[in-house]
Structure 1
Amino acid sequence: MSVFEAWYMDEESGEDQRLPHRLSPNQPVSVQQLEHIGVFHWKLNADIYEDDPELQKIREEKGYSFTDIITIHPDKLPDYQNKLKMFYEEHLHLDDEIRYILEGSSYFDVRDEGDRWIRIAVSKGDLITLPAGIYHRFTVDESNFTKAMRLFVGEPVWKAYNRPADDFDVRKEYVNSLRSS
């Protein structure tokens, strides 16, 4: 998967979450549709991430002052199966979620304004931001491998709030932003 791609998902929740789950026929989602719900994407050169001027510029513009790297693979992530289940629980965060895929590939699923799932395929070089307050989840694809840089504004916050979390101010602000756009 070298090209950024997104689509509406089928609702076959009992099947393997690592599969593409495309509708038949496929219903693609455009970059403009993603931007409308606050999801943004950049394609960068992950081979030079440590010294990439383009990444540095984005970090400075957005205030991403803290980073770490996570490798999601059965041999690299302790308690792999339980972590995958946790990542795949529908949740939101009080801050934006920013991920830069350094190796491998995976999926981010986000809810659109009609509460439909959109699956976003990310692979090496994809930098994606999900806005605070959006319901989402994450899973590896069939490769079972992703190495990602996690970026934060200030100190890292790991807390996820599983759905329902509609009473949080950040969720209300997010929903209101959709209405005004």
Structure 2
Amino acid sequence: MALEAWFMEEDEEDQRLPHQKNPPEYVSMDHLAGLRVLYWNLNPNKYEHDPDLDRIRQERGYSFMDLLDLCPEKVENYDQKLKNFYTEHIHADEEIRYCLEGSGYFDVRDKSDRWIRVWIKPGDLIVLPTGIYHRFTLDSDNYIKLMRLFVGEPVWTPFNRSQEDHPARKKYVTKIIEYINVTPLEAY
């Protein structure tokens, strides 16, 4: 199954709705790759003994892992947490999430500052690069079980926009400019 992503229609409706434009404007995996977003589709039913997941973890240095159930019944102050996750921010480290059950949306900014909504479902492992503006929300099913992966000890410090002078943001922008300068126009 392929990852689904599209340019968002920006409005004030419930953040858990798809927010697709009419007609929808889908985003290719190449476009996401140009933003340095990485993606794998794995078998979520064998995450405890998955050689593909083990290989990715070893190659990328993901030494710490935990599981997180997000739903109103399991998260204290659920509405506030969801609001916090949906605040646009960057991190000084990659954000690595593997969807085991349920579904949700990661929104990322493209190089023209447009929102792209990425719908993750069971089996989707997504890596958001250090310094990319993003946010997260559940979809209208209100449930997701995620594996969170980290290099070393878990750190999840959000730096809310605007962070143009943050070293992680500067490094990210430099990588995007380098990519643009060496990639044929048709890749966009």
Establish whether TM, by shorter chain, passes 0.5.
yes
1:9 equivalent in structure 2:
8
Once the two structures are superposed, residues 122-170 of structure 1 have per-residue CA deviations (whole angstroms, 9 ceiling, x without a partner) of 0001000000000000000000000000000011101100001111011
1:40-79 to 2 correspondence within 5 Å?
A: 40-79=38-77
**5+ residue gaps, structure 1:** none
2: CA distance, partners of 1:73 / 1:42: 24
Q: Which amino acid aligns with 1:107?
A: Y
1:27 equivalent in structure 2:
25
Q: Which amino acid aligns with 1:10?
A: E
1: CA distance, partners of 2:77 / 2:47: 28
1:125 equivalent in structure 2:
123
Give the SS at the match of 1:64: coil
Superposition deviation, residue 3 in structure 1: 3.7
Tell me the TM-score normalized by structure 2: 0.94
Give the SS at the match of 1:49: helix
Give the SS at the match of 2:31: helix
Q: Which amino acid aligns with 1:4?
A: L
2: CA distance, partners of 1:118 / 1:158: 22
Tell me the TM-score normalized by structure 1: 0.98
Superposition deviation, residue 11 in structure 1: 1.0
Give the SS at the match of 2:48: coil
2:183 equivalent in structure 1:
none
1: CA distance, partners of 2:10 / 2:72: 26
1: CA distance, partners of 2:128 / 2:140: 23
2: CA distance, partners of 1:168 / 1:25: 36
Once the two structures are superposed, residues 100-138 of structure 1 have per-residue CA deviations (whole angstroms, 9 ceiling, x without a partner) of 001000000000000000000000010000000000000
Give the SS at the match of 2:162: coil
Q: Which amino acid aligns with 2:79?
A: Q
Once the two structures are superposed, residues 71-128 of structure 1 have per-residue CA deviations (whole angstroms, 9 ceiling, x without a partner) of 1000011111100000000000000000000100000000000000000000001000
1:139 equivalent in structure 2:
137
Give the number of aligned pairs.
Answer: 179
2: CA distance, partners of 1:46 / 1:105: 13
